[in-house]
Amino acid sequence: MAGNAWVCAGQGAQFIGMGKDLADRFAVCADLFRRADEVLGFKLSDICFTGPEESLTKTSYCQPAIFVVSVACYTTLRELVGRDPAVTGMAGLSLGEWTALHLAGVVGFEETLRILEARGRFMQEACDEQAGAMVSVIGLPLDALRGICEQSGVEIANLNSEEQTVLSGPRAGIERAEQLARAAGAKKTVLLKVAGAYHSSLMRSAADKLREVLAKVVFRAPGIPVWANVTAQPHGDPDAIRQAMIRQVTSSVLWAGCVNGLKHGGATRYVEFGPGRVLSGLIKRIDSQAETLNIQDVVTLEKTKPVLAG
């Protein structure tokens, strides 16, 4: 019998129209968007459903938007199946970790919305303070990349798989790192279309501001193990979760370690909640034997439902 793991989408997976067909068909999903609009004080639903793209990609909108869509995907699955399918653990990529924590009962829906709106706003402010960039490097070992980071003054932002690592830092440093990576024999490098240097020390001001917000939030122990981006280990007690989520803003995302941890915990099937299939693709690179499913709309919901209902 397959062990199920839930994984939750991160920033960059958004697209105009996400969540609309779910909200049109399921009242419980429409209610989530209504509540989000009320909590945030602006029409997040309109930004998700009709854009414009400039608004949807703005971090203070994008982060709560992906969160609400991901929760809607999970909620409609549970509605159709009539129960919570058994799950061995959860994880999420960057902002997706907040979604996983919510689904595990650590932080409430409205609280998470407010956190992510603030988190996105703080991160955008940090981007405006210092010009940063990120580059994805495919096909270089970690030791070589660490050397490149030292030479160029950048940092490792994401360990996505053995093949793919993302570097983050000052724009000039990233340009230098990309040159060094190509010279070292990287199979491919891609400059990412992002506003700044996420998951690096350039996000320090965002982390400091988020610390003040999270000090007022009540965290609860997770009902299901949630794997932490910063340690690739299950989250601990509520205060440890709070501290880990502050560190996450400036620390490397150990995604490959999280997936390997879920695998060793018994996961053989991964269900990705939220827009896109980015995580499913990364999981396949980490564990070629894994079964991956995703729910991002009515079509994928109907496809996934009978597998989990069984």
In the chain, the number of structural domains is 2
Q: Is 268 helix (H, G, I), strand (E, B) or coil?
A: coil
Contacts of 196 (CB under 8 A, 6+ apart): 123, 124, 126, 127, 128, 130, 131, 132, 133, 202, 203
pLDDT of residue 309: 82
283 and 251 within one domain = yes
180 and 248 within one domain = no
**Contact between residue 152 and residue 177 where contact means Cβ atoms under 8 Å apart:** yes
Separation of alpha carbons 274 and 219, rounded Å: 23
Q: Which of 164, 191, 218 is the last residue of a domain?
A: 191
Q: Which of 173, 191, 209 is the last residue of a domain?
A: 191
Q: Tokens 């491919």 label which residue?
A: 188
Query: Alpha helices of 184-270 — where are they, by DSSP H?
Result: 204-214, 238-247, 255-264
In the set 60, 94, 168, 252, the catalytic residue is: 94
152 and 115 within one domain = no
26 and 115 within one domain = yes
206 burial (CB, 10 Å; 0-12 / 13-18 / 19+) is buried
In this prediction the pTM is 0.96
295 and 236 within one domain = yes
Edge-to-edge strand ranges of the sheet holding 291-295: 89-92, 4-8, 269-273, 291-295
CATH of the domain at 139: 3.30.70.250
- The partner residues of 273 in beta bridges, in order of sequence, read 8, 295
Give me 303's structure tokens: 């496809």
144 and 63 within one domain = no
pLDDT of residue 1: 56
120 and 135 within one domain = no
Separation of alpha carbons 45 and 95, rounded Å: 19
Phi, psi of 235 (to 5 degrees): -60, 150
114 and 178 within one domain = no
295 and 210 within one domain = yes
CATH of the domain at 39: 3.40.366.10
**Contact between residue 28 and residue 304 where contact means Cβ atoms under 8 Å apart:** no
In the set 161, 199, 251, 280, the catalytic residue is: 199
262 and 229 within one domain = yes
Active site residue 102: no
| Angle, in degrees to the nearest 10, between helices 109-129 and 204-214 | 150
**Contact between residue 97 and residue 226 where contact means Cβ atoms under 8 Å apart:** yes
209 and 97 within one domain = yes
pLDDT of residue 159: 97
Q: Which of 140, 161, 191 is the last residue of a domain?
A: 191
Active site residue 288: no
172 and 276 within one domain = no
Give the structural domain span for 231. Answer: 4-128+200-309
pLDDT along the chain (310 residues), means of 10: 90 95 96 98 97 93 97 94 84 98 98 97 95 97 97 98 96 98 97 93 98 97 97 97 98 98 96 97 95 97 90
